[in-house]
Structure 1
């Protein structure tokens, strides 16, 4: 009996943390794909839960205009499809979830690939690698928004660089 036949589902999930789901022949590709898949799943869960929340609020008759937006995201409501079938509502939610999953996966894949590539190229992993990877990831995310402006692209680059640099500098402190 081979090792694959005797492994349980729990063993498979434990190997996920060790990078066991993907083997594309190169550590860079493995890291990009694994980061993309993990983050895309998180993005999908976040999009579905946010849409379900706003749908429940709208259905209850509460005024959601006063509520702060979650995570800086735009409120995605289904007000444009009132009176239509549930199929249209489901299609709108799937489209929104797919877009958000792609954005989260893109951010994680680009960032992870860049930090790995910069570490290999420079021979060191420091805040400079994190800043560069964060800035490029911020630009990539800005370009996925509807009608990105020059100011929005620059702001996202600066924000991405600042957040990833701070995270790198604070690693090990907490």
Structure 2
């Protein structure tokens, strides 16, 4: 029986926004903020669009709600990402090496900071720090996969 196969490569476009503040730490932080903030804003718009289409009614109120949610989500997740990227970069510079431990420490600091700003109790802050460190280290390990 004859077989056929498909050989080729599928590539995605690379989008890079370069903002030079004159400071590497700030450059990394702003880059993280913009990239993840844009992803979060896009997710919020997609979710609201789905809900509007599903509900079958579109109004100015729905549009205003979607825009507010988009800005709020983008700012929140962009800030979290900016803090994480800045922390990881700072730890890398302090330690003088680039490895998974920087991601773990940066994730732990970010988890603790975001939790503390949310006025959580000490046990919750510690748990969020552990979770942030674990997620960041896992993401770093996954990025090494080929």
TM-score of Structure 1 vs Structure 2, range by shorter chain: 0.7 to 0.9
Cα deviations by residue, 1:75-108 (Å, 9 ceiling, x for unpaired): xxxxxxxxxx933322222221111001221122
Match for 2:105 among 132, 144, 149? 132
RMSD: 2.7
Give the match for residue 149 of structure 1.
120
Match for 1:122 among 85, 88, 95? 95
Give the match for residue 164 of structure 1.
136
TM-score (norm 2): 0.75
Match for 1:34 among 31, 53, 68? 31
How far apart are the structure 2 equivalents of 1:54 and 1:152?
33
Give the match for residue 48 of structure 1.
45
Unaligned runs of 5+ in 2: 1-12
Unaligned runs of 5+ in 1: 1-12, 61-84
Moved >4 Å (runs of 4+): none
TM-score (norm 1): 0.64
How far apart are the structure 2 equivalents of 1:139 and 1:55?
36
Shift of 1:144: 6.6
Deviates more, 1:105-114 or 1:131-140: 131-140
Relative to structure 1, the CA distance from residue 144 to residue 52 in structure 2 (aligned partners, 3 Å threshold; closer, same or farther) is farther
